[in-house]
Structure 1
Amino acid sequence: MQDTDDTDEMSDLNRKIIIAIPEIAAVIKKHTQNDFKHYKTTTLTRRIRRRILVLKLSSVDEYIERLQSSREEVFRLFRDLLISVTAFFRDADAFDSLARGVLTPLVNRHDGDSPLRIWVPGCASGQEAYSIAILLAETMQRCGKQVSVQIFASDLDERALSIARSGAYPLEIQDEVTAERLERFFTKRGKRYFVNKNIRDMIVFSAHNLISDPPFTKVDLISCRNLLIYLGAHLQKKLIPLFHYSLQPGGYLFLGPSETLSVNRELFRTLHTKHRIYQRRVTALDRPHTLEPPVMNLNRFGSHADAGNSELDLFRYSQQVILSEFSPQWIVCDDEGQIHSLSSDPAPFLKIAGGNFKNNIITMAHENLRTGLRAAFSESKEHRRRALSEGMSIPVEGGIQRVHITVQPMPEMGSDQSLHLVVFHRIGTPLQASIHDDSIRSSGGAKLLDSKAGQVIEQLELELLRARDALERTVQELEASNEELKSSNEELLSMNEEMQSANEELETSKEELQTSNENLVRSNNDIQNLLRSTRIATVFLDEDLCIRSFTPAVKKIYDLRESDVGRKLTKFASEIEGMPPLPDPRSLDDDDELEHVIGQIAGRTYIRRVTPYRASDGEHDGIVVTFSDVTELSDSQELFKTLVDVAAQIVWTTNADGRVVEDSPSWRAFTGQTYDQWAGSGWANVVHCDDRDAIMQAWKRCVDNGETLDHVFRLRHHSGDYRWTQVRAAPTRNRDGSIRRWVGMNIDVHDRIMAETNLRRSEELVRTIAENSTNALIMMDEHGYLTYCNQACLEMTGF
């Protein structure tokens, strides 16, 4: 009983959704410029119902209000309506037929520099377009011929198009693409397959609205698979002529397994019924009228050259006179019985009834000829040979005319359509219904005989007429039943495709949920292992400072057990002296991060950090308290600070780009700069102007090349004097070799440089005095070797 109630509620909801579809479609069109009003009602109803159930709304009116107030929900529904169920080589047998029956002829007969043009409307994430490109590459190799190819793949869904443009697909396509094709046309990188460049370059992906945007034209093939089943009859009637317009004469149309040309059949002929491959027919608008009326040259006194033309015109004119006056009536029609051309005055063989006009030779034929014509026409279509139907008659003025019908296939008319020539032959003259011989009329017995014979003939003709009427009614009923069965079959195929699509969506949703669940379990395990491996003491508290969970390392701070979850942390005494109180979780902002350096009795040092706990919706739902053991780091900092103080040198660090981002008390103490003054490249402001360009260039070269810096320059002391310093800097690197930071030291070498300068000046002074002295001056080392003599010595000794 409950199931029955649920079914009734669902049916009632569906009815209300159907009534609201125009209003919902108007809202979607307002925000997306796409009109879904004429999409198939069942598809729209199912998608809208799904959104209502997901949002847990109670009525269609509530959902309409949600659409009108939420642009985000409009786009969610819009994306749901853009059904992107697709796969590589979906229905492999159909793609094999496409390669053999369409792509191979296209490649073989393609000539010239113009590209082979293919259009794939509703391409979704691109698998169908890439499948056709792969088939083309294989076909060109098999035919030993390379042609230029241009595939236009269009869709409304920009997100699906971005996937198609990237050409990147998951490893699961191994189930759809053979190993040989994967190796030849794809490249595996990580956990994805990427389409090779030669296939990708064939395709242009474009956002395009098939309903409202101008179509691509002069294309050789349109592959529109599993799109029409989601559209209503109104749109299907619009799209089939549009496809006919887009295709070149003789172009091909490739539809999905549940799609047929239920309308506008005269525009296409069927190449493969099972795999839904059709070829464009040449219509009356496509054909140029090149037949000229005969020209008669009656100038019997013309030149010799004109005589030839006269004979030719006379011959053509004679042919036309014979055809128009003495030839039988004829009709040219296609496989569907649609009449393309006919001789003048087809009466009495064809009759045009009142009401809706039906361009079909069987329907328009005289009722006495339909049975024989149908049999001959079927034989001609099936066996592609001439068929003859004899022994028929039709009433004419003054008697009964015997008629034979010949149906002749016309394959030489071209591959774009199959035509038949139907010829009506009059056999003899009409049989007279009355007897005019006076000699027979005068005989009484002859009169009786004629009377009885007339009655028998009349009865036979009446029975024959009734049999023909019954047969005709039976045929009509069979045709109607066949049409109904065909329509039912198409509806069943459409429903099957929709069920298959819904099943695929359910399978996809199931796989997504399963994957999400696996990812969630894996993420939870990762987080637990991460927290254990980092050995960081962490406590998760709710808004009332009650314990939600904690890591094992927190037991060094608080004596907690698993049974303490749910109790307030403030009830527990910590092992750390002077523990600061915890803040109120409601007082913290998103970016707040409170840090305190705290100590422990055992001499360990910790940094306690308090940050907001954010729920999945971004709202605060408590705090996270972490205790990081920084004892070694604190000791290292103390040791480093002590070494710097003892060395009385300037120590500084920069980032990888050579810019100051951290404070250096020793630099500020020497130069007198504030941190803001020396941060970035502000340190250059206290370099002597004569040394500034050289040190800046040397520093830039070292940063660019990762070289060690060793340079001497003058630096302004906080007293205002410039002192010579020697700077040495080296990079610290990450494991991959990239530079993490620069560490440098400035050594005060002013006294040394000044002493060296004074010594150098003294040496130059002594050398100048010696050179200008008139006395001979000689310097020798401890071994008696001459090390110096002045000019006067050289002049005296003659050396």
Structure 2
Amino acid sequence: MSEQVAEGNGEFESVLAYLKEARGFDFTGYKRSSLMRRVRRRMAQVGTEAYAEYLDQLQVNPDEFVALFNTILINVTGFFRDPEAWEYLRAEVVPRLLAERSPDESLRIWSAGCASGQEAYSLAMLFADALGVETYRQRVKIYATDVDEDALRQARHATYSSAELEGLDEQKLEYYFEAQNGRYGFRKDLRRSVIFGRNDLVQDAPISRIDLLVCRNTLMYFNAETQTKILERFHFALAPRGTLFLGKAEMLLSQNRIFEPIDLKRRVFRKASNGRASYNSSFTHGMGQHRGLEVPITERLRELAFAAGPVAQLVVTEDELLAVVNDQAELAFGLSERDIGKPLRDLDLSYRPLALRGLVEQARLERRSLRIKDVEWRRAGEIVWYEVHVNPLIAKDDTLMGVSVVFHDVSGARQLLAELERTNRQLESAYDELQSTNEELETTNEELQSTVEELETTNEELQSTNEELETMNEELQSTNDELQTINDTLRDRSLDLDEVNEFLESIMLSIRAGIIVVDSDLLIKTWNRGAEDLWGVRRDEAEGTHLFNLDIGLPVTDLRPMIRTAVTDVAYENTVMINAVNRRGRDAVIRLRCAALRGPDGTSHGALLTMEDTAAEV
């Protein structure tokens, strides 16, 4: 059984080695139990049981990397997650951090393991509340990093659903977010101060000069050795007395006293002023641990190293006497060995390029490091900019030995920063223009896509119409041929039709009864001789006239219902006796028969009225 476990572990290590070799992700520092559990979960999802089999699948299916990383890197996050700790950060940590820095000093914040960005934007809201939006935009930079590119992509987009904003109070939601197509986007003017980038805490170099480092619920995924390495990198990243904010489930496992607890319950720590991390400090360890060197030689080496230092540096005693000056300080400020032992107040350096005595006294009394930025010094017709660090020198027995003053020449960096800021402004402007252009292009693309679809539909309809027209053309040609044949036939039969018409006319003249035929619009189509004799209206006067417009002795308006029924009902037929006045002005009783005029198609085409004077019959 133990051999099987060992074999399984070996195969699992092969998977980790392949991930590091193929994709550059080094998971060897993660806790094996958690890591194996998550890899096994993904293996179960794809239906594989052996690590070797799953390694084959990774080699043949590149898309499987993404699914595996999403399973390993569980990005559980939220806005102001663990509210009690964030409230402590707001009420205690941020005010102290601001009080320790000058009003114009910039603030650098690092959100390590930022996932999809909620933690970084929570920090942005926290400092915007504390400083005000305008000051925040001028002073604060938030660096948000993660190894998960998909999470970083979502974080850069800065839009969240209602469910992801659950728990955020209405005031913050309304002030810091804007509704965008059913989602909520973080304010663009504050979004620009948050810089997202990929950073592997195990392999990549840390960001430096950080005032507040937030890394919550990330260290817990690493083993103790890897956690120690990461914490040493964090120690290097933080500025003097910088603050570290961890998750509630995490503790500092490093045995080095490189961080001091501020509040253990909320997992807030401060960079220890006398702590020493091993990151990037091989020179210090090499000198202190080499026992073969004699003490005088070591002291001489230290003096030479101090004198040859690349930055201007000097040391004053507790009594403010100049004790040590290196070569760079002598060249920069015109000092020499004759000035050693003189009181600082007697030297020009005490008041230029800055009021140094007050700073030395403050560092000595408060026993804390001071950093003064943007110190201008005119030398030999040129302007040099310094960042001055004033550090108290405290012995192991907590005795104050003196104060070290270091002048860092930041002229080049200042120029680069100015160029960088100018470039950033240009990039931001270009980004806004590109964003606007991109949105316009997306809109235009959608419109073009819609137009293409409409044109395709129209083309199909035109194609169908063309086919129908071709069919109709063939039918019309055939009909034309038939009509030509019918026309020839009708021409041959026209004489026969004239004879038929004459015959029908003879019949109508022979019938004594009055006959009136109307069409469906009640226009008179036939008016025979009998009708002329009854009512005294000639045929040419009656035909084409509306029946109800005739001024005759027949009360046609009383017959309206019966006639309209005959027009619409093909089966209608009725006979009535009505009182009328004939053409001679005499009263007459008329037998009137009304029937529908049946057409060949079986529908009513009008009405047929037959009228007889009953007195004439007697």
TM-score if structure 1 supplies the norm length? 0.36
Structure with the bigger RCO (C-alpha within 8 Å, sep 6+) is 2
What TM-score, normalized to structure 2?
Answer: 0.46
Structure of higher CA gyration radius = 2
